[in-house]
Every structure is written in C-alpha cells, then in structure tokens.
Amino acid sequence: MAIAKTDGCGAAERLSRIVLADGSAGHDAPIRLARADALLRDVADALHQLCSLHGRHPGVVDHAARCDPHPAAGDWLQQAAAAFADERAYLIRVSAAAGPPPGTPGQAAAEAALAAQRHAIDLLSRSVRPGCALGAAIGVTLDWPSIRRPLDAAAVRLGLETLPNALPSPAHTLRLVDAIAAEAPVERAMTFGLQQLLAQHRGLWDLLVARAESRG
C-alpha cells in the first residue's frame, strides 16, 4: 500500500516525505529481491536477516506501547501490535521455506553489523523520551509495505499463501501523527525515532547488497 501524499505542511506531511525519501521504497534492493529472476539464495539471505531485526517478540510496536504510551495512540498501537504479531509469523514461515542463509564471506562482520542494528532498534523502541519510541513504531509501520514486496514475492514463488496486510493504513497512521504532534518536543522526538528506524532499514538493505556482491 503506497503512502498517500498529504496536503499542507503539518507533521504528517513532513514525516510522509521523510518515509518516501529515506525509507525502503527509495532503495533498489527490495525491488530487485521482489523480481522473479532474483537468486533464491539472495532472497533467503534477505528474509533471514529481516527475521533477525523484526522476527523477535516483543517487537518495535510492542515496546513502544509499553515505553511511550500516548492517549491518542492507544487504538492505533493495539491494531499495529496485533497485525505485527501476524507479520512476524508470516516472515518466519516464508523465511523457513526459503531455506537457510547462504554462506557468505565476511560473515563475522555482517553479524556484528546486524547486532548493532538490533541494538539501535531496541534503544529506539524502548526510549522513554515522549514521542521517540512511538516515532519508531510509526516508522516501521509506514515502511513495512515496501518490505512486504520481496516477502510476498517470495511467498508466491515458494507456493505459500500470502497474508493480507492488516496494519493500520498509511492514512490512519498519518492522522495519528497530526493528532500527537501538537507539542514541538514530541514532534521532534517522533521524527527522530522515525528517521533512525528508517536508517536501520536502509543499513540492512545496504548490507544485503554487499553480501550478494561478495557471493559473486
């Protein structure tokens, strides 16, 4: 589902532009991995590494609901957390069907990079600075449709049933952004959490490209 462009220059518009510019939709890797001619070993590697970031429970949204609750975000967090529980199971199921990640030169360095990304995501989603963890949760929700492209393509390729996307819609999420961004410090923290979450995703795609190139 594409992120709808919003009118005006409110918080929702600003965050929407950030996701469009800096999110997974702006990276070539998800597009290439979703193609029918993508090497299955590259697909398996991508799914496995995605599991290492988002196949864990509790995840980003779960932590945000505990560490950064906001009165206006309760229903959104409940829907997002329930949907991500299904997304985790789906990601793990497709990853298992794709097989183990391929042997790749520089594995120790890759594992260290992934550990750093997991740590960064955990810090963001556990932040008690009002708006930060919620921004990370909003970021992963808005970026997930782009991540879903190679995931769904792999499911189809492997003969698995795809899962309907039950996450809050981008329009719903962006309305939430405007509802909770009345205070400037909260908006700054929310923007920071979102930007840093997207940076971890882009770092993962860069790592996956480098790993594929090292395999030849």
| pLDDT tens-digit readout, 130-159 | 999 999 999 999 999 999 999 999 999 999
Cα(15)–Cα(9) distance, rounded to whole angstroms? 10
Q: Which two tokens stand for residue 22?
A: 């800096």
Asked if pLDDT for residue 5 goes beyond 80, the answer is no
Q: Please report the pLDDT score of residue 33 as a whole number.
A: 97
Q: Please report the pLDDT score of residue 3 as a whole number.
A: 47
Asked if pLDDT for residue 9 goes beyond 50, the answer is yes
Global pTM reads: 0.92
Asked if pLDDT for residue 1 goes beyond 50, the answer is no
182: how many CB neighbours lie within 10 A of its CB?
Answer: 10
Q: Please report the pLDDT score of residue 183 as a whole number.
A: 77
* pLDDT (tens digit per residue) in 17-55: 999 999 999 999 999 999 999 999 999 999 999 999 999
Asked if pLDDT for residue 90 goes beyond 50, the answer is yes
Q: Which residue has the higher pLDDT, 68 or 185?
A: 185
| Mean pLDDT estimate for the chain | 92
Asked if pLDDT for residue 8 goes beyond 80, the answer is no
